[in-house]
């Protein structure tokens, strides 16, 4: 019988996928055969000819779970699934059976399975399969992942547990994630006292890590659908700051911080030339991840030549204004992909110091 842990979260972007990846990494050190599934898949992509959830694709690629891919996303929610369900074209019983069959197939050759919920606990209710309902039919106890803070965590845990209690699903542990490092001990102390009478175990997760939250240059290129020119090997660099090159050239250079992507309009020849030259100086290169150059005006031939010779990574667009680009980047919620090798290795390393896998394993002994 495979050990199963259902990873739920108090809300989107609490860090379910990072926790799932961490636990699978640690489980591989103890169990010979590990598995993963995302029963409800609201964000599908194509991988190896199959339509699967983004997180299932990530785990498949990172942990070499190719033979299980067909079982990892049994229910894919498409754009018209809500209307189809209300119109009676989707049957909850059929979807439930798909989930049960997929889990049974994984259990035949897995010793340990991570089951990752979708979004907050209510996601999937539209087709009669909330996270709580899925955990119930799979007979899996829950590890609830929350964000940091005190009051927000207390409120969200009490709200969300009602859904699981209604389905008679046990929350065995609450893992508080994205903790502010200097407040970590204080936060966990207050939460421990707030939950002292509760049956679940309170655990501390990862500290908030900007390096895990911020996008790579490649990610920005993908969301904007733009090509990276220049040194494409730098596309994996992580952007910690986004700066609009509106002030004077001198002021822009004074404001530069480490790992900055600059938005510079195509008419700012002097600034483009200055940044291209700075990129060639080793002691300044670490400050500049690349350039995003909007504007209908052409970059002057001499400025373009200097930018190209410097090999500074840049993206060029005539279709979007500076404001539109800035909003598109800042409003994007970065999601981990298999291409983020550096981030994944960092998560593996942090997991080994942050999580006591044996303790978690004991907590979930018996389903």
* Correct CATH for 3-208+336-363 of 3.40.50.300, 3.30.300.30, 3.90.1010.10, 3.30.70.600: 3.40.50.300
Give the pLDDT confidence score for residue 352 in this predicted structure: 93
One digit per residue, the tens of pLDDT, for the chain of length 367 reads 789 999 999 877 788 899 999 999 999 999 989 999 999 988 888 998 899 999 999 999 999 999 999 999 999 887 777 788 788 787 888 999 999 999 999 999 899 999 999 877 777 777 778 899 999 999 999 999 998 889 989 999 998 888 899 999 999 999 999 999 999 999 999 999 999 999 999 999 999 887 777 889 999 999 999 999 999 999 989 999 999 999 999 999 999 999 999 999 999 999 999 999 999 999 999 999 999 999 999 999 999 999 999 999 999 999 999 999 998 888 776 778 888 888 899 899 999 999 999 999 999 986 5
DSSP 274-336: HHHHHHTSHHHHTTEEEEEEE-SSPPPHHHHHHHHHHT--EEEESSS-HHHHHHHHHH-----
Q: Beta strand 34-37 with 40-41: parallel, antiparallel or unpaired?
A: unpaired
| Torsion angle (degrees, nearest 10) of CA 178, 339, 59, 72 | 120
**Cα(20)–Cα(113) distance, integer angstroms:** 10
Instruction: Say which DSSP state 201 is in.
Output: E
Q: What CATH fold (topology level) applies to the domain 215-331?
A: 3.40.1390
Residue spans of the domains in the chain: they are 3-208+336-363, 215-331
The bridge status of strand 171-176 relative to strand 201-204 is parallel
Q: Which residue's structure tokens are 């119930």?
A: 136
At residue 307, the pLDDT reads: 97
C-alpha 174/C-alpha 205 separation (Å) is 9
3-208+336-363 and 215-331 agree in CATH topology: no
pTM: 0.81
Predicted confidence (pLDDT) per residue in 236-278, tens digit:
899 999 999 999 999 999 999 999 999 999 999 999 999 999 9
pLDDT of residue 337: 85
Residue 365: predicted pLDDT: 83
Q: How far apart are the first and last CA of the chain?
A: 9
pLDDT for 366 equals: 65
| Amino acid 114: pLDDT | 97
């Amino acid at each position: 019988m495979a050990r199963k842990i259902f990873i739920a979260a108090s809300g989107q972007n609490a860090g379910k996928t990072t926790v799932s990846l961490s636990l699978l990494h640690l489980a591989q050190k103890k169990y010979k055969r590990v598995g993963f599934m995302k029963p409800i898949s609201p964000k599908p992509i194509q991988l190896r000819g199959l339509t699967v959830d983004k997180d299932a694709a990530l785990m498949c690629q990172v942990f070499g779970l190719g033979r299980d891919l067909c079982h990892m996303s049994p229910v894919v929610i498409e754009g018209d699934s809500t209307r189809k369900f209300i119109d009676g074209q989707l049957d909850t019983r059929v979807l439930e059976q798909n989930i049960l069959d997929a889990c049974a197939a994984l259990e035949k050759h897995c010793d340990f399975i991570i089951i990752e919920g979708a979004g907050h606990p209510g996601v999937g209710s539209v087709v009669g399969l909330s996270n709580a309902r899925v955990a119930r039919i799979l007979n899996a106890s829950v590890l609830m992942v929350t964000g940091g803070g005190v009051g927000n965590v207390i409120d969200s845990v009490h709200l969300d547990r009602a859904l699981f209690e209604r389905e008679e699903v046990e929350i065995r542990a609450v893992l508080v994630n994205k903790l502010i490092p200097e407040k970590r001990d204080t936060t966990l102390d207050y939460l421990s006292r707030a939950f002292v009478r509760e049956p679940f175990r309170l655990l501390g997760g990862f500290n908030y890590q900007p390096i895990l939250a911020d996008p790579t240059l490649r990610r920005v290129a993908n969301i904007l659908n733009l090509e990276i020119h220049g040194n494409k090997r730098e596309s994996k660099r992580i952007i910690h700051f986004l700066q609009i090159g509106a002030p004077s050239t001198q002021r822009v250079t004074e404001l530069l911080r480490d790992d900055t992507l600059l938005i510079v309009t195509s008419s700012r020849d002097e600034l483009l030339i200055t940044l291209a030259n700075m990129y060639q100086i080793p002691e300044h290169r670490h400050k500049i991840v690349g350039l995003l150059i909007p504007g209908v005006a052409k970059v002057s031939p001499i400025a373009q030549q200097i930018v190209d010779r410097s090999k500074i990574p840049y993206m060029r667009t005539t279709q979007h204004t500076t404001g539109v680009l800035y909003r598109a980047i800042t409003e994007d919620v970065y999601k981990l992909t298999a291409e983020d090798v550096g981030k994944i290795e960092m998560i593996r390393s942090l997991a080994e110091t942050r999580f006591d896998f044996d303790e978690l394993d004991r907590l979930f002994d018996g389903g």
